[in-house]
Amino acid sequence: MAHLPRAQLTRYAWISIGAALLTLAMKTGAFVLTGSVAFLSDALETVVNLGAAMVALIALSVGARPPDEDHAYGHGKVEYFSSGVEGTLIVLAAIAIWAQAIRRLLEPAPLAEPGLGIVVILLAAGVNLGVAQVLGRVGRRERSITLEADAQHLLSDVLTSVGVVLAVVGVSVTGWAWLDPVMAMAVGVSLVLAGIRILRRSLLGLMDTVLPPGEFGAVAAVLERYARRGVGYHALRTRQAGARAFVSVHIQVPGSWTVQRGHELLERIEGDIRRILPGVTVFTHIEPAEDPVSWEDEALDRPEDGTIGS
């Protein structure tokens, strides 16, 4: 599958910004019409959507820059900072929602024009749902955690909208004004959980987490095919850095092989791995299988006593 140039992903951030501005205007209008604090909580979440989309635009622009002397492996990790900022904004929005909900719980107020407000909120939810599907699909295909986080947040926004609509309907039917702030508080809890999930994924990415099990298993399967032909391997390590994936492995062959023969083998192995993981960067190191020293460098840090290679 052909992948988009990283610079072209910024267009999806612009789509997210446009959707946030549109839905913010709609949800603010719904709050003004009804006076519902649940609708206000929905509008506050959309403010977060707008801020997150703007941060995403900056991150995607920076991440699209090619490698340079100071960033030899590219700038892709900036996307983890972007999603981390989004997770933080979500938690802050939840705190603001709780503050408004508690005040309304202590000072109940009737709702006005609930029917029109509900229609506006549902239209805004439809906009967010459509944009979330687009961002999620592109984010998974292009391995962009920024777009994926934005899509997840928009989906949570859709669920929030449905929840506040149910709350307003409940208030209209039962007359129980406390349902409105209670639903707003539930929205706050949901936002905190979503923010924590996004923050956790961002932190794991910054800590060079290994590739997902399916991708790691695919790499191991390639190496096992060669192992069945007598080509050993060890010290297999993988990591994810934004859109880029990295694989390093030590390959063990008979010491009698020529440099040319070993080089051709490594080229085949690296090519096989790149075919199953397009865009991956592969580092291979060849070793003589008969040399005991070849088995002493499986740890990430080599001994400092000079025994290896002396």
| Residue 160: both structure tokens together | 């929030």
Highest mean pLDDT among 66-75, 155-164, 175-184, 267-276: 267-276
Neighbour-count burial for 37-54, b at 16+ CB within 10 Å, e otherwise: bbbbbbbbbbbbbbbbbe
Q: How far apart are CA 286 and CA 248, in angstroms?
A: 11
Q: Which of 46-60, 109-123, 133-147 has the lowest mean pLDDT?
A: 109-123
CB atoms within 10 A of CB 263: 13
What pLDDT digit, counting tens, does each position of 187-222 carry?
Answer: 778 778 878 887 887 877 777 788 889 999 999 999
265 confidence band (pLDDT: 50, 70, 90)? very high
Query: Topology of 213-295 in CATH?
Result: Alpha-Beta Plaits (3.30.70)
Residue range 106-134: mean pLDDT, rounded: 82
pLDDT surpassing 50 at residue 309: no
Locate the domains of the chain by residue range: 6-206, 213-295
What pLDDT digit, counting tens, does each position of 82-115 carry?
Answer: 778 878 877 887 787 787 778 777 777 666 667 7
pLDDT surpassing 50 at residue 134: yes
CB 268 within 8 A of CB 282: no
pLDDT surpassing 60 at residue 2: no
What predicted TM-score, i.e. pTM, was given to this entire model? 0.62
Q: Which of 22-36, 174-188, 272-286 has the lowest mean pLDDT?
A: 174-188
278 confidence band (pLDDT: 50, 70, 90)? confident
What pLDDT digit, counting tens, does each position of 152-167 carry?
Answer: 778 877 877 877 788 7
Q: How far apart are CA 129 and CA 42, in angstroms?
A: 14
User: 3.40.50.20, 1.20.1510.10, 1.10.260.40, 1.10.274.10: which CATH number matches 6-206?
Assistant: 1.20.1510.10
What's residue 300's pLDDT? Answer: 63
CB 71 within 8 A of CB 112: no
Mean residue pLDDT of the chain comes to 82
The backbone torsions φ and ψ at residue 74, rounded to the nearest 5 degrees and listed phi first, read 90, -175
What's residue 310's pLDDT? Answer: 43
What's residue 206's pLDDT? Answer: 75
253 confidence band (pLDDT: 50, 70, 90)? very high
What's residue 112's pLDDT? Answer: 66
